[in-house]
Chain A
Amino acid sequence: MLAVSLSLLLCFGAVALTRGSFITAVKAFAAMTAGAFGDWPRFFEKGAWSAVLGPWGETGNKAALLTLTGLSVAVAFRVGLFNIGAQGQLMMGAITAAVLGAKLELPGPLHLVICLLGAALAGAAYAALAAYLKLARGVHEVISTIMLNWVAVSVVENWWVTGPLRASASGDNSISGTDQIHPSAELPLLLGAASRLNLGFALALLLAFALYLWLTGATRGFEWKVVGLSAAAAETSGIAVKRRVFEAFALAGAFAGMAGAVLILGTEHKYPPALATPYGFDGIAMALLGQGNPLGVFATALFFGGLRAGGTRLQLFGVHKSFPELIQGLALLLVAAPWAWARLLNRSWRRA
């Protein structure tokens, strides 16, 4: 929490400096808050629900994606593995959801469920590849998942989406990306037309809770923790270490794949020519800032989802919308070295 507020402060200073005025920075941050958590003044003045619900929707949708990829990284952490591959798994899930959503013709809820499950399976399979390389061949998962990320980008975006899966041009407007998914596969909106908030948010929240219960309540969840804390101790007490690691990593992939599905079925409605935002990498930040706790991940994701949603409003003040990512990176850096700033604070306290 301290890390986050400290980095917010740093960035505030940066805005004030680059825009040459303190007032602009205040206004920019106010706009960002309004964009993230609702434009309350406008709501009270005019009673416009959309002023509040609209931003909520943007925040919620982004938070859902951040939560899912964050959970992915957090689960892998539990067994002591670093899943840098959430991005690749997300892409595999996304393309699977896009294909299933466009090619299958099924009644409403069933279609949606199949798309989600398919995407989760694709993500899990892609992660299982890295887990296999780790367990059977001793290839470090950090390396293999980085490689697999690039393979996913190359294969999905430079081959499938531009080649065999490219949307067939209808009429005279040429389309980029894959075919539109059927409405039956779309994640339904939760708050009606006023907001783009979709079921993905509820799904992410639900999964965060489920994972929390699983990790704290289930025997298997406990075994994962033991494996992560000490593989040797786990081995001696009769836990099948390799199998547990494999399971957890596959589940991590499933979460990331699910994130891909939520992105496609919720907001994009097709696989675009290129996924603009690296949500998979953001997941690392979410997991670390949320300290590996599923509920912590959700809270962090909600906060940064809000910053992201509000970040687009910063552009009105000539500040790039990548700003929230800067804050996130700085926060992560501060988390990486609790020592560094704890020392700084200590020193200033002593002086006071």
Chain B
Amino acid sequence: MLELFEALLYSTLDAAPALVFAAVGATFSERSGVVNVGVEGMMRAGAFAAAVAALVMPTPLGVLCGMVAGTGVAAIHAVLCIRGRADQVVSGIALNLVMLALGTFLLEALFTPSGSTSIAQLSRWTLPGFDKVPLLRALHNHSALTYLAMVLPFVAHAAVYRTPWGLRLRAVGEKPAAVAVMGVSVAQLRYTGVLISGALAGLGGAVLSTATLDRFEHHMPSGLGFMAVAAMIFGRWTPLGAAGAAAFFAFGNALRIGLTSSLPEISHYLPQGVLLALPYVLTLVVLAWQGKGASSAPAALGVPYNSERR
């Protein structure tokens, strides 16, 4: 039993970072008032760029390239939404479509249709002493990004809730006009929010192609970006909540994989598809249960700021 739990914990910790980074990132964008359904596309860009860059440079630098790529996609989103006052959902969806097709196209042009050439995976850290203790062993032998994913949500939470900048970021998502009156640039704060979101989504994508696997595969990130958005909503637009929800989703997934491999009989009672659908159904149920009043979405979410109209 303990061993099973340990194995579950281990695979959760291995799979969660991608989702955690993307979900925490999404809170920055949405807190500033810009809807980000383009996380999927940003993750794809990050995963691709990291895997390609790591072919010619050390893998950690490749991960940085992934972040830059994610930021680049986010920059397009930011310019369209903030300067262009475009419909934020449309822009996000369009970016997803473009990145999906572009990723496939570049993959075909540069590598084979199914995946890119293998790279050196990120090295896994060995924590002295941890490999002897049961349960704690699960914390052992992960890539640095897993440990970063454990720390980052707290840092992000502190940044959003304990710094003047965080206060402004939240304010700009609630009532941008008030922030503008204070003499603070609405656009600048929103750009920062969206770009942070892109960098973290890119990092999340890079996790997939440099830590979880050792190459970019054609279907990456296969819906994880949408999951990240769901986790962010589930976590009520707070970094810690988003990270918690992301970890929960990852655990659910690990549980599903663990159950079906260790107890194959279970598929007679609970079909694979039901287990797969569970996190989504759960999200819906929670959202429906929270109802209208309890929604903690930023008030100005999705509304472009127009300084000529108050």
Q: Which residues of A contact B (CB under 8 A)?
A: 14, 18, 82, 84, 133, 137-140, 142-144, 146-148, 150-151, 153-160, 162-163, 281, 284-285, 288, 318-320, 322-323, 325-326, 328-330, 332-333, 335-337, 339-340
| A163 and B274 alpha carbons, distance in the complex (Å) | 11
| A281 and B109 alpha carbons, distance in the complex (Å) | 25
**Which residues of chain B are near A160, meaning CB under 8 Å?**
273
Closest Cβ of chain B to A295, distance in Å, is: 21
Return the 8 tightest CB-CB contacts between A and B, nearest first.
A159-B273, A138-B292, A329-B97, A158-B273, A326-B101, A329-B98, A154-B276, A154-B277
Contact A339 B85, CB 8 Å, known A154-B276, A159-B274: yes
Interface range for B: 35 or more
Are B105 and A14 in touch, CB under 8 angstroms?
Answer: yes
Give the contacts of B67-113 with A (CB-CB under 8 A).
Answer: 76, 79-80, 83-87, 89-91, 93-102, 104-105, 108-109, 113
| A146 and B234 alpha carbons, distance in the complex (Å) | 14
**Which residues of chain A are near B223, meaning CB under 8 Å?**
150
Q: Which residues of B contact A (CB under 8 A)?
A: 37, 76, 79-80, 83-87, 89-91, 93-102, 104-105, 108-109, 113, 223, 226, 229-230, 233, 271-274, 276-277, 280-281, 283-284, 287-289, 291-292, 295, 297
Are A281 and B90 in touch, CB under 8 angstroms?
Answer: no
| A163 and B76 alpha carbons, distance in the complex (Å) | 43
Closest Cβ of chain B to A333, distance in Å, is: 4
Are B102 and A326 in touch, CB under 8 angstroms?
Answer: yes
| A158 and B281 alpha carbons, distance in the complex (Å) | 15
| A159 and B278 alpha carbons, distance in the complex (Å) | 13
| A28 and B186 alpha carbons, distance in the complex (Å) | 46
**Which residues of chain B are near A139, meaning CB under 8 Å?**
284, 287-288
**Which residues of chain A are near B84, meaning CB under 8 Å?**
336-337, 339-340
Are B94 and A323 in touch, CB under 8 angstroms?
Answer: no
**Which residues of chain B are near A151, meaning CB under 8 Å?**
277, 280-281, 284
| A186 and B267 alpha carbons, distance in the complex (Å) | 34
Contact A320 B104, CB 8 Å, known A138-B295, A147-B283, A329-B98: yes
Residue of B nearest to A331 (CB): B94
**Which residues of chain A are near B226, meaning CB under 8 Å?**
146, 150
| A144 and B281 alpha carbons, distance in the complex (Å) | 9
Contact of A322 among B90, B91, B101, B292 (CB under 8 A): B101
Contact A336 B101, CB 8 Å, known A143-B230, A154-B276, A159-B274: no
Closest Cβ of chain A to B219, distance in Å, is: 11
Are B284 and A147 in touch, CB under 8 angstroms?
Answer: yes
Closest Cβ of chain A to B75, distance in Å, is: 13
Contact A329 B100, CB 8 Å, known A154-B274, A336-B86, A339-B84: yes
Are A150 and B280 in touch, CB under 8 angstroms?
Answer: yes
Are B109 and A340 in touch, CB under 8 angstroms?
Answer: no
Closest Cβ of chain A to B44, distance in Å, is: 12
Q: Other than the known A163-B271, A335-B90, A337-B91, what 10 A-B pairs have Cβ atoms closer than 8 Å?
A: A18-B105, A138-B295, A142-B37, A147-B283, A151-B280, A159-B272, A325-B97, A326-B101, A330-B98, A336-B86
Residue of A nearest to B284 (CB): A147
Contact of B79 among A154, A155, A319, A340 (CB under 8 A): A340
Closest Cβ of chain B to A11, distance in Å, is: 9
- Most B-side CB within 10 Å, residue of A133, A148, A326: A326
Residue of B nearest to A325 (CB): B101
Residue of A nearest to B226 (CB): A146
| A155 and B272 alpha carbons, distance in the complex (Å) | 9
| A340 and B272 alpha carbons, distance in the complex (Å) | 46
Are A154 and B101 in touch, CB under 8 angstroms?
Answer: no
Are A144 and B287 in touch, CB under 8 angstroms?
Answer: yes
**Which residues of chain A are near B83, meaning CB under 8 Å?**
339
| A91 and B109 alpha carbons, distance in the complex (Å) | 31
Contact of B94 among A156, A162, A332 (CB under 8 A): A332
Residue of A nearest to B98 (CB): A329
**Which residues of chain B are near A336, meaning CB under 8 Å?**
80, 84, 86-87, 90-91, 94
**Which residues of chain B are near A155, meaning CB under 8 Å?**
273-274, 277
Are B284 and A144 in touch, CB under 8 angstroms?
Answer: yes
**Which residues of chain A are near B109, meaning CB under 8 Å?**
18, 319-320
Are A158 and B271 in touch, CB under 8 angstroms?
Answer: yes
Closest Cβ of chain B to A118, distance in Å, is: 21
**Which residues of chain B are near A156, meaning CB under 8 Å?**
273
**Which residues of chain A are near B102, meaning CB under 8 Å?**
326, 329
Are B97 and A320 in touch, CB under 8 angstroms?
Answer: no
Residue of A nearest to B97 (CB): A329
Contact A325 B100, CB 8 Å, known A138-B295, A146-B226: yes
Are A337 and B89 in touch, CB under 8 angstroms?
Answer: no
Are A154 and B105 in touch, CB under 8 angstroms?
Answer: no
| A163 and B108 alpha carbons, distance in the complex (Å) | 34
| A160 and B95 alpha carbons, distance in the complex (Å) | 32
| A274 and B79 alpha carbons, distance in the complex (Å) | 37
- Most B-side CB within 10 Å, residue of A14, A140, A337: A337
**Which residues of chain B are near A159, meaning CB under 8 Å?**
271-274
Residue of B nearest to A288 (CB): B90
Are A147 and B97 in touch, CB under 8 angstroms?
Answer: no
Contact A158 B89, CB 8 Å, known A139-B287, A147-B283, A322-B101: no
**Which residues of chain A are near B280, meaning CB under 8 Å?**
147-148, 150-151, 154
**Which residues of chain B are near A14, meaning CB under 8 Å?**
105
Closest Cβ of chain B to A85, distance in Å, is: 12
